[in-house]
Amino acid sequence: RRRSEIIPHAEGLQTHANKGNSHAEGRITVADGVASHAEGNETQASGDYSHAEGNSTVASGLNSHAEGQDTTAGAANAHAEGQGTLTSEVSGHVAGKYNAVVANGLFNFGIGSSNDKRKSAMIIDGTNGKVYFVDAGGYDGGTSIANAKSIQDILKDSGGVEIEQLDESFEFNKNAQFDVFNNIEDGLHIYVGTYRAQNTQIARMLRITQYTEAGETKVQYFEYQEEVGATSCSFINASVIRTESDG
């Protein structure tokens, strides 16, 4: 075997590349897995073929990827991003911040505030594809979905599903209230939308899921990608899945 095929590479301050074909760079990073890559500040890529980047991230699963701050991808093919997120689900994806760890939570979007106050806004059960939102169907954002109703079950139980297309434009600000849906009558509403910035130079994609119950609009899942300077957005391919709740 040629020497160039097995020698690891470390650069920066107190970096360690300990396995064949591994690469560590930045500050106090460790690449402990075969062909792993650790970069940034105090990151650790201990799984074979793993990648850890950002600040204090850990990619310990085979082929795993951790990025952001204080995130952990602790299973094979897992991905953790955001702040304080962690997953131990094989092929699991976790985003947001400080998610609750839910068994079989293949997709998990965190809205917690600290390691001691973990909470999730959205869970997709990897065993059956069912979706759970916080404050809907009895799910409280914690570690168990065993006694909660999925969105599919809520829609099925309520009856009369109606799907309609929306065409709206509005000025977008990250901290703005999304009141464009508030004129829809009371009941249970699930909204799914994709948006694009009306700027030929800068694009933003936005997905939002929210429901209205008893006249109160609650945002359940909110994800955006943006470039600085984009302000005007419009819906594209936006739809409403609506059912009327009993009473």
How close are the terminal C-alpha atoms of the chain, in Å? 73
As a whole-number percent, the residues of the chain with pLDDT over 90 amount to: 55
Cα–Cα dist 149/172, whole Å: 33
Instruction: Extract the tokens encoding 45.
Output: 């890529």
Domains and CATH numbers, the chain: 1-80 (2.150.10.10), 159-243 (no CATH)
Has residue 181 got a pLDDT over 50? Answer: no
- Mean pLDDT estimate for the chain: 77
Q: 152: part of which helix (H) or strand (E)?
A: helix 151-158
pLDDT, tens digit, 9 for 90 and up, residues 75-98 = 999 999 999 999 999 999 999 999
Q: At 130, is the secondary structure helix, strand, or coil?
A: coil
Has residue 35 got a pLDDT over 60? Answer: yes
- Residue 6: what pLDDT? 78
Has residue 179 got a pLDDT over 60? Answer: no
